[in-house]
Amino acid sequence: MIKKVLVANRGEIAVRVMRSCRELGIESVAVYSEVDRKSMHVRYADDAVCIGPAPSSESYLRKDKIIEAAKLTGADAIHPGYGFLSENADFARMCEKEGIIFIGPSPYAIDTMGDKITARKTMIAAGVPVVPGTTEPIHDIKTAIDVIMKIGLPVMIKASAGGGGKGMRLVKNEEDIISAISGAKSEAKAAFGDDAVYIEKYISSPHHIEFQILGDKHGNIVHLFERECSVQRRHQKVVEETPSPIMTQEVRMKMGADAVAAARAVNYYGAGTIEFIVDDNLNYYFLEMNTRLQVEHPITERVVGVDLVKQQINVANGLPLAFKQEDLKQTGHAIEMRIYAEDPDNNFMPSPGVIKHIREPLGLGVRHDGYVYKGYEIPMYYDPMISKLIVWAETRDEAIARMKRALFAYKITGIKTSIPYLHRILEVPDFIKGRYNTHFIEENQQYLKKQNTSTERSIDMAAIAAFVDYITKLESLQTEPNTKQQLGNNWKDFGRKRSALRF
Amino acid sequence: MIKKVLVANRGEIAVRVMRSCRELGIESVAVYSEVDRKSMHVRYADDAVCIGPAPSSESYLRKDKIIEAAKLTGADAIHPGYGFLSENADFARMCEKEGIIFIGPSPYAIDTMGDKITARKTMIAAGVPVVPGTTEPIHDIKTAIDVIMKIGLPVMIKASAGGGGKGMRLVKNEEDIISAISGAKSEAKAAFGDDAVYIEKYISSPHHIEFQILGDKHGNIVHLFERECSVQRRHQKVVEETPSPIMTQEVRMKMGADAVAAARAVNYYGAGTIEFIVDDNLNYYFLEMNTRLQVEHPITERVVGVDLVKQQINVANGLPLAFKQEDLKQTGHAIEMRIYAEDPDNNFMPSPGVIKHIREPLGLGVRHDGYVYKGYEIPMYYDPMISKLIVWAETRDEAIARMKRALFAYKITGIKTSIPYLHRILEVPDFIKGRYNTHFIEENQQYLKKQNTSTERSIDMAAIAAFVDYITKLESLQTEPNTKQQLGNNWKDFGRKRSALRF
Amino acid sequence: MSYEIKINDRISNIEVLSREGNKFSILIDKRCYELDIVEVDKGVYSILHDCRSFNVELVEAKNSKSYHVNTLYETYEVEIIDAETKYLMNRRKDEGEDQNVISSPMPGKVVKILFKEGDLVKAGETVVIVSAMKMESEYKVKQDRKIKRILVKEGDTVNGDQPMVVIE
Amino acid sequence: MSYEIKINDRISNIEVLSREGNKFSILIDKRCYELDIVEVDKGVYSILHDCRSFNVELVEAKNSKSYHVNTLYETYEVEIIDAETKYLMNRRKDEGEDQNVISSPMPGKVVKILFKEGDLVKAGETVVIVSAMKMESEYKVKQDRKIKRILVKEGDTVNGDQPMVVIE
């Protein structure tokens, strides 16, 4: 059984993994780069080893140094978190070779799912739906029509040799098929000297819905239902929730079974995620598999009532899963929002810096997974995510209200954060209704722009607070310094006093 | 519908009530005593009104000032929290008269349940079991024997006129009955000149188990299962958990039905708690009813998935309960521990003072309901409870492990707290096994005393940290003060510099 | 004594009319506020006005007279304008200082400098690229300019508000 | 330079042998530690020793040379003993100061003073009662004593460690 886990990561996920280790009575080892000496994971861990300079390539991505640190501290397992080396099959293999348990899937599963083409082929073989389309170039119109009729409208026709939108045609109606193919072909011919085209199903309002799965080393695989992740900015998830507001129980069961089939196709063990692209009619297609813990795993933990990190460790220990599919169910509604050190009102410019003051949101139904603290300097070298706010409530409406309450109470000064932006997302009518897809952010710009909520009184209060602070400083400066109070009586007696310093 | 709630309380419960108000879109009003100006509930509320000097009798118990504050701010309802005026029927009546909704039960229910004798009679009439015993003095041995045989052994025989243990006899075995009665009677005669005795069922290893109930103004009443509160020190609850480790589903259903019957006997509406005394064989007897929210309500919220404060507000609004008994169920296990500002290693001496540094426990399954913050001075006038730590997990064992992890991560400096003591409770074998009653603390003194866990290295680390801090101060003192850095460039230019002060 | 105070672009007159403990009477422009003001933690103020509870957080900005101020939903830049500040503001105006400096608003690493001293730069061209938190930001000129001085070099780590390039 | 340091009742010699940034070599009695020490927040230290991570929190006690120190499960009283402290300790010993003062270890309110100046008090008798957080604490004498001076009166609010009664 695992006795000591090295966490090959930093930030909130490192602390989160260590928390579960502590509950299991397992010691934890932090590795850290030179700029991370004061980081919370170093303080939280039982052991800590420095593995190099700030750039990830010289520290958190250095497989050799991490393995060395594990040996130095006697760690018998490594948890990779997410990002960094979490989906690196070579690292998993190195661990295996060195007799260290890699808390994650087999290198084979990582490799297979890591390559898009292999993954697609594996899924087709396993009977998991993928986005329909041709894999060979088409030259004649008749074949093209046949393919389109088989895939079903709408489709996107793309020039085989193409790029830059040339030779691309979106077909929505049957009567446009022939003219679209002809047009695409002649445009392709003119542009690239080749009139071959590809045809792919076009999903006009795509939803990103993923399924959490868990497998053990005895062939048992279950899914822990879906997460709706369609609120994305530049392909980065911003909000995740479960259950998905567009899901039906019937489709959920079908998708869950397909997610399990997808995992089974690579003999998956550990925690993993099957990402699907879903259209408005709940047709769904395999997109990719993440062979690791996801950032958004806590919403599943809350709604299903399972500690996923503990499950990962149990699986790595060779234990069978403690539950069957029929033991699992969803209760209530959970939402996660990611808090970034960035300025949402200035093109999301990153905002590293020193946390001057922090007040974390607490209370019923609120989980806050973070790692920064007062006085901590967020380094400029890593991802700007500083924490995740996860709320649970009986219903989706209540969860939204709770998230607003939590954002209201969450105060950080010293850096800019995405908190005001997240507030605005919760006020967008389409979000409130649960009717959104991956175009949500771009379609709702008018709601997401900074609103001027200033009143004369709030401006005056801001001015007054600053002014009172200023004149208080001024006054204390003009008063004779009361050294005695600051340094204790004894300093003065011994004539050591040179001046009163802040310490 | 209620638009604005005045919370007639302070500390964690005031903040907790305001959180639910905020989620419901209801404004909140804080009232505060002069020493509570910086208290979190004043900062959290939308409105705040000072109601007098520090002593509760001059502020938080001043019904007139609280009503006045409600009128001043336009609050249409008052939530009393727990303690202070929460079980004061006169206050509930005053609110009613002034047209302000009192978020709590009817004055009639408060009065009836507030008087022990009336409550006992009401319960007997409602068929709810009470601790069996005589209500009239007994003079002859035969009646005494009859009564004892009816109540069943063990019983306690007490002198009617008695006190101080004189004339008291505990009877465990049938053969001792006559000698015990005779002995008690003659001792009573000698001591008080009156040989009349009372007989009461003796519960040798009592458990304190209470049931949460909720009723609306339409006659619907449900229970939200039990809370086990047997870990008590000087009749103060220290740990609460749900489900109770000694409960069976059969007894739970019976007790729940009796709890509902008890509430129904006084036409109860709002949230309330029926306290039972329970013996090792799960015989249970009505003890009293608390006609308010309890300190330990969050464990029920977590396991049943209901926000009790929101339910209170809905009921006060005249809404029917949104669920029936059969809709409610318990999921997983929750434990609450109360953190006090006190020194457990010095006879639990209160420890008011300034919070120098605080790091609250976070993460999966942890709820922390508190109100103190860095720089806050805990006043000496009120209850020393500073926060409540509530954990949830799938199983009791996991919940205990999680609580340990949370206590480990919970750091407060500047005051002494009960955290180390709570740690020790979690290590007591009887607690781990779930085999404990209200004698737990006194029977486990050997485990609960301060253990010496110091190693030479940990002592050395303490010394080294202090020493490094000291020499760093010394060094900065001996260096010329760098005024420029502290005050910004501009001060110096204008020759205002007198000295460098900490501000 | 009355001060001038700048909140974002608004300039107001502000004066403490009276003070008793944490009770202030403050005149801002023509509005008079009776307030209860306490500093609950360093830079964190609780203000009560007409029973309303306001929370205001201050972070000192470039010097002891300027602040970033957070209220519930807004952030303001506030600066107390005393004689010194006025003098500096005037000087800045005269010399055209500051507008001629490209500064990094955040800490980061200088990835690339695309010109050298003396070069002429066209409006919209990028002068320097700074990277922080896996994101690169480009700093451009708005008008045709000439590079006067370059204060950093590629690979340098810069602080927030640190001048990088002086243009004319 | 070597110092004496008192941890609870233990007195040790302590000395920084070398320092480079946050890497310290420290000798305490005969034990030499190679340590990585950083102050992560005011009074909060992270110490790494042989890969082990220790968290130590300091709160200044009665003066700048004495601390309450919290490690994971323990609290220690630590005092740096320099020439001044030695002098004060000796004086205290000579004059028998401090042992003759009844102080309140916590802030509170003086509820009752049961004697007046000049009274003789028997061992075990309560001299003063202080209330805090709804709890009353009684302060007794351990031996027969005489009340020399009473520094507070009933109803007074006292701070932590404030002397209340001088006895002889």
Q: Which helix (H) or strand (E) holds A407?
A: helix A396-409
> Using alpha carbons only, what angle is made at residue B293 by residues B292 and B298, rounded to the nearest 5 degrees?
165
Whether B319 and B246 map to the same domain: the answer is yes
pLDDT of D85: 72
Which pLDDT belongs to residue A294? Answer: 97
Query: Which helix (H) or strand (E) element contains residue C144?
Result: none
The reply to whether A467 and A393 lie within a common domain is no
**Looking at the structure, do residues A230 and A327 belong to the same domain, yes or no?**
yes
Assigned domain for B109 exists: no
Q: Is A12 helix (H, G, I), strand (E, B) or coil?
A: helix
Mean pLDDT (chain C) is 87
Contact yes or no, C with D (3+ CB pairs under 8 Å)? no
Are B487 and C64 a contacting pair at CB < 8 A?
A: yes
Closest CA to B462 of A42, D8, A27: D8
Q: For residue C16, what are the CA distances in angstroms to A319, A458, C81?
A: 70, 18, 15
Q: Last residue of some domain: B303, B331, B359?
A: B331
For residue D41, the chain A residues in CB contact (below 8 A) are 373-376
Residue burial B242-251, b: 16+ Cβ < 10 Å; e: rest: bbbbbbeeeb
Question: ipTM of the predicted structure?
Answer: 0.87
Nearest to D129 by CA among D147, D97, D148, D156: D156
- Minimum mean pLDDT among A240-254, B217-231, D137-151: which range? D137-151
Pair (B40, B97) in one structural domain: yes
Query: Does the beta-carbon distance from A463 to C109 stay under 8 Å?
Result: no
Please provide the average confidence, as pLDDT, over all residues in chain B: 91
pLDDT at D161 over 80: no
Q: Subunits with at least 3 CB pairs below 8 A relative to chain D?
A: A, B
Active site residues of A: 292
Chain A neighbors of D64, CB-CB under 8 A:
487-488, 490-491
Is residue B238 located within the same domain as residue B278? Answer: yes
Write the DSSP string, A453-479.
Answer: ---HHHHHHHHHHHHHHHHHHHHHHHS
Q: What is the pLDDT of residue A493?
A: 34
Q: How far apart are CA B353 and CA B413, in angstroms?
A: 10
Q: Is A263 left (phi over 0), alpha (psi -120 to 50) or beta?
A: alpha
Domain count of chain A? 5
Helix or strand or coil: residue B385?
A: strand
Q: Do chains B and A touch (3 or more CB pairs under 8 A)?
A: yes
- The dihedrals phi and psi of A196, each to the nearest 5 degrees, come to -70, 145
Sign of the dihedral defined by the CA atoms of residues D64, D65, D70, D71, in that order:
positive
**Cβ-based neighbour number of residue B253 at 10 Å:** 13
CB of D18 within 8 Å of any CB in chain A?
no
Is there a cis peptide before residue A243, judged by omega within 30 degrees of 0? yes
Contact across the interface for A367 and B363, Cβ inside 8 Å: yes
> What is the percent of chain B with per-residue pLDDT over 70, rounded to a whole number?
94
Question: In this model, does residue B411 exceed pLDDT 80?
Answer: yes
Please give, rounded to a whole number of angstroms, the shortest distance from the CA of C150 to a CA of chain A: 22
- pLDDT average, residue stretch D126-151: 87
pLDDT exceeds cutoff 60 at B173: yes
Single pTM value for the model: 0.89
Check whether B443 has a pLDDT greater than 50: yes
Share of residues in chain C with pLDDT > 70 (%): 92
Residue numbers in C near B29 (CB within 8 A):
51
Instruction: Report the interhelical angle of A308-316 vs A297-304 (nearest 10°).
Output: 100
Same domain, A316 and A226: yes
- How far apart CA A475 and CA A461 sit, in angstroms, is 21
Among A21, A42, A373, the strongest candidate for a mutation testing the D interface, having the largest count of D CBs within 10 A, is: A42
Query: What would the two tokens of residue B132 be?
Result: 């069996």
Q: Is residue A237 part of a domain?
A: yes
Nearest chain B CA: its distance from D127 CA (Å): 18
Structural contact between residues B9 and C16, judged by C-beta atoms closer than 8 angstroms:
no
**DSSP 8-state secondary structure symbol assigned to residue A140:** S
Q: How far is B470 from chain D (nearest CA, A)?
A: 7
Residue type, B15: V
Same domain, B397 and B469: no
CB B334 within 8 A of CB B406: no
Contact D139, D113 (CB under 8 A): no
Among B386, B415, B460, B471, the residue to mutate for chain D (most D Cβ within 10 A): B460
Question: Cβ contact (<8 Å) for B29 and C48?
Answer: no
Q: How confident is the model at residue C23 (pLDDT cuts 50, 70, 90)?
A: very high
Q: What is the CATH number of the domain that holds A416?
A: 3.30.470.20
Token pair recorded at residue C154: 């590629």
Integer-rounded Cα Rg, in Å, for chain D is 21
Q: Both A244 and A346 in a single domain?
A: no
* Residue in A367, A478, A498 closest to B478 by CB: A498
Least confident of A298-302, B332-336, D141-145: D141-145
pLDDT digits (tens, 9 = 90+) for C107-148: 888 999 999 999 999 988 889 998 888 788 888 888 888 898
Residue D94 pLDDT: 54
pLDDT for res B139: 87
Domain harbouring B83, CATH code: 3.40.50.20
Contact B458/D71, CB-based, under 8 Å? Answer: yes
Q: Which chains touch A (3 or more CB pairs under 8 A)?
A: B, C, D
Q: Could you tell me if D89 lies within 8 Å of chain A, comparing CB atoms?
A: no
> According to the model, what pLDDT value does residue C141 have?
85
**3-class secondary-structure state, position C48:** strand
- Domain, as residue range, for A51: 4-103
Are D and B neighbours with ≥3 CB pairs closer than 8 A? yes
pLDDT beyond 90 at D140: no
Any A CB within 8 A of C72 CB: yes
Query: Within a domain: residue B294?
Result: yes
Same domain, B353 and B437: yes
**From A25, A404, A476, residue closest to B503, measured CB to CB:** A476
Taking contacts as CB-CB distances below 8 angstroms, the residues of chain B near C46 are: 37-38, 42-43
Nearest-CB residue to D57 (from B341, B357, B382)? B357
pLDDT at C93 over 60: no
- CATH number, domain with residue A149: 3.30.1490.20
What is the spatial distance between Cα B66 and Cα C18, in angstroms, rounded to a whole number? 29
The predicted-structure confidence for B272-316, as pLDDT tens digits, reads as follows 999 999 999 999 999 999 999 999 999 999 999 999 999 999 999
Q: Which residues of B touch C64 (CB under 8 A)?
A: 487-488, 490-491
| Strands in B53-201 per DSSP E | 77-79, 101-102, 155-159, 169-171, 197-201
Chain B interface includes A87 (CB < 8 A): no
Which has more confidence, B165 or A40? Answer: A40
Could you count the other beta carbons within 10 Å of the beta carbon of residue A259? 29
Show pLDDT as tens, one digit a residue, over chain A (503 residues): 999 999 999 999 999 999 999 999 999 999 999 999 999 999 999 999 999 999 999 999 999 999 999 999 999 999 999 999 999 999 999 999 999 999 999 999 999 999 888 898 999 999 999 988 887 788 888 888 988 988 888 998 888 776 666 778 889 998 899 988 888 888 888 888 888 888 888 898 899 999 999 999 999 999 999 999 999 998 899 999 999 999 999 999 999 999 999 999 999 999 999 999 999 999 999 999 999 999 999 999 999 999 999 999 999 999 999 999 999 999 999 999 999 999 998 889 888 889 998 999 999 999 999 999 999 999 999 999 999 999 999 999 999 999 999 999 999 988 999 999 999 999 999 999 999 999 999 999 999 998 887 889 999 999 999 999 999 988 887 664 444 344 333 333 333 333 333 33
User: What is the band of B492 on the pLDDT scale with cuts at 50, 70, 90?
Assistant: very low
Query: Any CB–CB contact under 8 A between D52 and chain A?
Result: yes
Nearest to C28 among A411, A458, A460 (CB): A460
CB A404 to CB B23 under 8 A? yes
Q: Are residues B390 and B426 in the same domain?
A: yes
Question: Which of B331, B359, B387 is the endpoint of a domain?
Answer: B331
User: Tell me, what DSSP letter sits at residue B154?
Assistant: S
Give the CA distances from residue B42 to residues B15, B381, C55, in Å, rounded to whole numbers and listed in that order. Answer: 9, 17, 10
- Establish if A228 belongs to a structural domain: yes
Side chain identity, residue C24: F
Taking all residues of chain D, what is their mean pLDDT, rounded to a whole number? 87
Q: A485 to chain D: nearest residue by CA?
A: D63
pLDDT in tens, A259-298: 999 999 999 999 999 999 999 999 999 999 999 999 999 9
D53 touching chain A per CB within 8 A: yes
Measured CA distances, A63 to A58, A93, A107, A383, D50 (Å): 10, 11, 15, 20, 22
Q: What is the pLDDT of residue B501?
A: 32
> Closest to B465 (Cβ–Cβ): which among D56, D64, D109?
D56
**Which H or E run contains A432?**
helix A429-433
Domain-terminating residue out of B147, B171, B201: B201
The backbone region for B84, taken as left when phi is positive above 0, alpha when psi lies in -120 to 50, beta otherwise, is: left
Quote the CA–CA distance of D36 and D50 in Å, as a whole number: 9
Same domain, B326 and B396: no
Cross-strand pairs, D87: none
Complete DSSP assignment for A149-213: HHH-SSEEEEETT-BTTBT-EEE-SGGGHHHHHHHHHHHHHHHHS---EEEEE--SS-EEEEEEE
**Chain position carrying tokens 């030695």:** D86
Q: Which one of C48, C82, C92 makes the best mutation probe of the B interface by having the most chain B beta carbons within 10 Å? A: C48
pLDDT exceeds 70 at position B200: yes
Torsion of Cα atoms, B2 then B8 then B10 then B15, to 10°: -10
Touching A: B residues 18-37, CB under 8 Å? 19-20, 22-25
> In this prediction, what percent of chain B has a pLDDT beyond 90?
73
Domains by residue range for chain C, with CATH: 2-81 (3.30.700.30), 96-167 (2.40.50.100)
Residue B490 forms contact with A (CB below 8 Å): no
Cβ(A191)–Cβ(A184) under 8 Å? no
Contacts of B35 in chain D (CB under 8 A): none
**Amino acid type, B208:** H
A78 and A160 both lie in a single domain: no
- Is A305 in Cβ contact with B331 (below 8 Å)? yes
pLDDT of B502 above 70: no
C-alpha span between B312 and B330 (Å, rounded)? 20
pLDDT cut 90: percent of chain C above it: 48
Residue type, D108: G
Asked if the structure places residue B222 within a domain, the reply is yes
Least confident of B353-367, B478-492, C100-114: B478-492
Which residue is it, tokens 């306490």?
C38
Q: Is the pLDDT assigned to residue B468 strictly greater than 50?
A: yes
The DSSP H or E segment spanning A22 is helix A11-23
Which one-letter amino acid corresponds to residue A146? D
Residues of B annotated catalytic, as ranges:
292
pLDDT in tens, B57-88: 999 999 999 999 999 999 999 999 999 999 99
Residues in chain B, total: 503
Asked if residue D109 lies in contact with residue D33, where contact means CB atoms within 8 angstroms, the answer is: no
Tokens at A360, concatenated:
């974390």
Highest mean pLDDT among A183-192, B212-221, D1-10: B212-221
pLDDT band at D74 (very low <50, low <70, confident <90, very high): confident
Helix (H) or strand (E) holding C40: strand C31-41
In this prediction, residue A501 carries a pLDDT of: 32
Q: What are phi and psi of A195, to 5 degrees?
A: -100, 15
Residue B277 in tokens? 């005394």
- Whether B244 is in a domain gets the answer yes
The answer to whether residues B197 and B145 touch, using CB atoms and an 8 Å cutoff, is no
User: What is the residue type of A446?
Assistant: Q
Asked whether residue B160 carries a pLDDT value surpassing 80, the answer given is no
For D137, name the nearest residue in chain B, comparing CA atoms only.
B349
What is the distance of C-alpha A368 from the center of its chain?
15
D53/A45 CB distance under 8 A: yes
> Residue B363, Cα to own-chain centre: how many angstroms?
24
User: How many angstroms separate the Cα of A197 from the Cα of each of A154, A162, A190, A193?
Assistant: 16, 9, 13, 12
Q: Which residue among D28, D69, D107 sits closest to B352, beta carbon to beta carbon? A: D107
Whether the Cβ atoms of residue A497 and residue A483 lie closer than 8 Å to each other: yes
